[in-house]
Copies of this chain bind each other. A is one copy, B any other.
Amino acid sequence: MSRRIVVVGGVALGSKAACRAKRVDPEADVYLIDRDEYISYGGCGIPFYISGDVSDVSELRSTSFHMLRDERFFLKDKGVVALTGTEVTRIDRQGKTVAIRRKDGTTDTLAYDKLVLATGTTPRMLPLPGRDLENVFTVANLHDALAIKEKVTEGSIGKAVVVGGGFIGLEMAEALADMWEIETSIVEVFDQIMPGFVSPSLATMARKTIEDKGVRVYTSEKVEALVGEGAVSAVKTDKRTLDADMVIMAVGVVPNTGLAKEAGLEVTPQGWIVVNDQMQTSDPDIYSGGDCAAVKNLVTGELGYFPLGSMANRQGRVIGTNVTGGSARFDGAVGSFVVKIFDNALAGAGLTADRASAAGFDAVGIQVAQFDRAHFYIEKEVIFLELVVDEKTRRVLGIQGFGGKDSGMVARINAVAPLLKYKPGVEEISNLELAYSPPFASAMDIINALGNAASNYLDGRYRPMTMEAFAACWENRSCGDTFFLDCRANADAQPFADKYPEIWKSIPHDQLVDRMDEVPKGKKLVLLCNTGVRSYEAQLNLNAKGITDNVSAGAGIAGLKTWGVDFGLDK
């Protein structure tokens, strides 16, 4: 008899697992069940549908060869029976059946040999007064997408507030502001956008880019109520009231694991389904993955939670293989991500310094700036990377970066992400073998410079200062105990020295050894140049003279300007 595979949830993990299972075992009966009428859609494309970069919602449901992925498609193209508008209400593990309820109210039970839980998540809705007002949206599925798009195309939305500065919030804010010219604000309760994903320095760079495009960003600010009559008209925070014709709530997700819990499957304290490295739950006949499950974080070794569509697809295939008798493995993840921020990429993998410290590592983040291509090549731009390393073991724990308008940033993040599970040391990043030709990289690529800077720091040769730290120091510059030594060419440095004669001095790096006696004594020195190379070399020159009470502005003035430090000078 053919085996029966029942998959609950039909978006990313579920549909992938179902299709793969049928391919591996063409004899199997495969059911794909979803309570929604839309299945198999690219939810990740919703912000781009709103922005117009995806022209029609049907494209999010179509294959690359323009076939709509509806029930007929699953049946005819994939041999999978898709039951939409059908909720699974209970699992009977003993009897190996699930209970289903159709939209029309009819119910049934369906036997399974292997069951797959791909129930995903529900967007978190803050328990705020006014949350049920019209024009308050979450962004999770095509219903949301259609409803939001309809509103913005109507032209009645002049102002919008996005609650949450995570990746969905940022993408939605960009879509509303850039395409629809809606006056958009982001309110984030943490003190930075993309909390947990990137350092404060990189978050501030992204924030400035967003603000430069006219989107207002309010961090460390808590939404207290949504205000309006019928429809929302304003958002009240603990600091102000923002007018709003539309509110997008993008404050995270909660796993849909009621079914799993009721069935007595093991879940984490936060509610995610626990699976082993074959994606099996605590019941070996039940598999799970995607947004509703936790997998091992390959950096910490602990369970982690990575609600990513790419992850769901890869896990789905592993499950499809295994429910048909295979033994494919999914060892875990490091959480590679990327988000487009207007013409830039914000990306990363592994742990941030903050997360790594919280996980017990002795973590530090080293920041560097460099051109993404050969500096002599016609097209290029300065990009920024941060390497998170453990000071005790020199182990690389994560990498994050900002900048670059094409795939140059992911080209670097992708090179490090798959290595992280092998516990590389910083020297492995110094020697990382990227493909080099002037239109694509530098001979000593920024990724190698990043490893080198980290090794210099760990060797006690380099004392960098993060962009956040510089900004704080610059704010307090009038207190007089810090002195800025500018190692750039005099033409670049002199305007700064002229404007801040008490605290800023120009000694080009190629003159430093000869002019050592001009270096201010008894002050904490901050060494500066454009990207951090000359200021590092100046630090070595000072080290050699025993002058060590100084730091080098890590990502240079290029970094500080992108960050938003205001030097009060035009260029």
* A interface residues (Cβ-Cβ under 8 A, vs B): 12, 16, 23-24, 26-27, 42, 44-45, 48, 53-55, 59-60, 62-67, 73, 76-79, 167, 308-314, 317-318, 328-331, 333-340, 345, 347-349, 370-372, 374-378, 406-408, 410-419, 422, 427-428, 430-441, 443-445, 448, 452, 461, 488-489, 509-511, 513-514, 529-531, 533-534, 537, 540-541, 543-544
CB distance from A156 to the nearest CB of B (A): 26
Contacts of A16 in B (CB 8 A): 444
- Residue from B340, B417, B419, B511 in contact with A439 in the complex, judged by beta carbons closer than 8 Å: B340
- Residue from B417, B433, B488, B534 in contact with A435 in the complex, judged by beta carbons closer than 8 Å: B417
Closest chain B residue, CB of each to CB of A66: B489
Contacts of A340 in B (CB 8 A): 437, 439-440
Asked if residues A44 and B374 are in contact (CB atoms below 8 Å), the reply is: yes
Contacts of A318 in B (CB 8 A): 431
Asked if residues B435 and A410 are in contact (CB atoms below 8 Å), the reply is: yes
- Residue from B328, B337, B371, B407 in contact with A408 in the complex, judged by beta carbons closer than 8 Å: B407
Asked if residues B435 and A377 are in contact (CB atoms below 8 Å), the reply is: no
Closest chain B residue, CB of each to CB of A417: B433
Q: List 19 A-B contacts (CB under 8 A).
A: A27-B544, A44-B374, A44-B437, A45-B374, A45-B376, A48-B377, A53-B438, A53-B439, A64-B375, A65-B534, A78-B537, A310-B434, A310-B441, A317-B430, A340-B439, A406-B408, A410-B435, A414-B415, A414-B434
Asked if residues B435 and A330 are in contact (CB atoms below 8 Å), the reply is: no
CB distance from A147 to the nearest CB of B (A): 19
Q: Cα distance A16–B442 when bound, in Å? A: 14
Contacts of A76 in B (CB 8 A): 510-511, 513-514
Asked if residues B375 and A509 are in contact (CB atoms below 8 Å), the reply is: no
Contacts of A413 in B (CB 8 A): 435
Contacts of A67 in B (CB 8 A): 489, 510
Q: Cα distance A412–B513 when bound, in Å? A: 44
- Residue from B53, B427, B509 in contact with A328 in the complex, judged by beta carbons closer than 8 Å: B427
Asked if residues B488 and A65 are in contact (CB atoms below 8 Å), the reply is: yes
The 3 closest A-B pairs by CB, nearest first: A310-B436, A406-B406, A64-B375
Residues A510 and B77 in contact in the complex (CB < 8 Å), given A376-B42, A417-B434: yes
Contacts of A543 in B (CB 8 A): 26
Closest chain B residue, CB of each to CB of A41: B376
Contacts of A541 in B (CB 8 A): 26
Q: Cα distance A448–B461 when bound, in Å? A: 41
CB distance from A474 to the nearest CB of B (A): 22
Contacts of A333 in B (CB 8 A): 433
A335, A336, A411: residue with the most chain B Cβ atoms closer than 10 Å: A411
Asked if residues B314 and A430 are in contact (CB atoms below 8 Å), the reply is: yes
Q: Cα distance A77–B66 when bound, in Å? A: 59
- Residue from B309, B374, B509 in contact with A77 in the complex, judged by beta carbons closer than 8 Å: B509
Residues A440 and B345 in contact in the complex (CB < 8 Å), given A67-B510, A414-B415, A431-B331: yes
- Residue from B349, B412, B443 in contact with A309 in the complex, judged by beta carbons closer than 8 Å: B443
A370, A411, A414: residue with the most chain B Cβ atoms closer than 10 Å: A414
CB distance from A561 to the nearest CB of B (A): 15
Q: Cα distance A434–B337 when bound, in Å? A: 8
Q: Cα distance A434–B417 when bound, in Å? A: 7
- Residue from B54, B311, B531 in contact with A64 in the complex, judged by beta carbons closer than 8 Å: B531
Asked if residues A438 and B338 are in contact (CB atoms below 8 Å), the reply is: no
- Residue from B317, B441, B537 in contact with A23 in the complex, judged by beta carbons closer than 8 Å: B537
Residues A412 and B414 in contact in the complex (CB < 8 Å), given A54-B377, A65-B529, A509-B77: yes
Q: Cα distance A167–B435 when bound, in Å? A: 13
Q: Cα distance A55–B375 when bound, in Å? A: 12
Asked if residues B378 and A54 are in contact (CB atoms below 8 Å), the reply is: yes
Residues A435 and B64 in contact in the complex (CB < 8 Å), given A417-B415, A448-B314: no
Asked if residues B77 and A444 are in contact (CB atoms below 8 Å), the reply is: no
Residues A48 and B444 in contact in the complex (CB < 8 Å), given A77-B537, A414-B412: no
CB distance from A171 to the nearest CB of B (A): 8
Residues A410 and B440 in contact in the complex (CB < 8 Å), given A65-B530, A67-B510, A431-B331: yes
CB distance from A261 to the nearest CB of B (A): 28
CB distance from A472 to the nearest CB of B (A): 27
Asked if residues A443 and B328 are in contact (CB atoms below 8 Å), the reply is: no
Contacts of A430 in B (CB 8 A): 314, 317
Asked if residues A53 and B377 are in contact (CB atoms below 8 Å), the reply is: yes
Residues A410 and B434 in contact in the complex (CB < 8 Å), given A44-B374, A376-B54: yes
Given A410-B435, A418-B428: 19 more A-B contacts, CB < 8 Å: A12-B443, A23-B537, A44-B374, A45-B376, A62-B376, A64-B370, A64-B531, A67-B510, A76-B511, A77-B537, A309-B443, A318-B431, A328-B427, A407-B407, A410-B411, A413-B435, A414-B435, A416-B418, A417-B434
Asked if residues B443 and A313 are in contact (CB atoms below 8 Å), the reply is: yes
Closest chain B residue, CB of each to CB of A335: B433
Residues A337 and B437 in contact in the complex (CB < 8 Å), given A54-B378, A63-B375: yes
A73, A417, A438: residue with the most chain B Cβ atoms closer than 10 Å: A438
Q: Cα distance A407–B45 when bound, in Å? A: 22
- Residue from B312, B334, B431, B440 in contact with A433 in the complex, judged by beta carbons closer than 8 Å: B334
Q: Cα distance A534–B372 when bound, in Å? A: 38
Q: Cα distance A554–B333 when bound, in Å? A: 30
Closest chain B residue, CB of each to CB of A314: B431
